[in-house]
Each structure stands twice: as C-alpha cells, then as structure tokens.
Amino acid sequence: MRGQAGGLFGLLDLYLASAPLREVHQWVFGVLALESELVDARL
C-alpha cells in the first residue's frame, strides 16, 4: 500500500511539474468535491 501511495505521489509530482498551477488547483478541488459527495451519499 505504501508503494502504491509512493507511485501515486510520483505521478502527482510529474503532473504538478508539467501542469499550470490553475489546472492543478482545478484538479485538486475536483477530487476533493468528488470525495465529499461520496461521503455525503453514505450518510
């Protein structure tokens, strides 16, 4: 599991290094919004 997280962060680092900051923020907030919707659906 730790290896998967490391791989994920490695990909994220590559993405952050190559993407404009605005796109990164949109992606991050999109993921957070998705996660919060999934949590709300379970309540």
pLDDT in tens, 18-41: 777 777 778 888 888 877 766 655
Q: Tell me the residue type at 27.
A: W
The answer on pLDDT for 8 being more than 60 is yes
Give Cα 33 distance to the centre of its chain: 10
pLDDT computed for residue 38 by the predictor: 64
| pLDDT tier at 1, thresholds 50, 70, 90 | very low
Alpha carbon distance 35, 37 (integer Å): 5
Cα of first residue to Cα of last residue in the chain, in angstroms, is: 27
Which range marks the domain in which residue 27 is found? 2-42
Residue 5 token pair: 């997280």
Reported pTM: 0.35
pLDDT at position 14:
78
Q: How many domains does the chain have?
A: 1
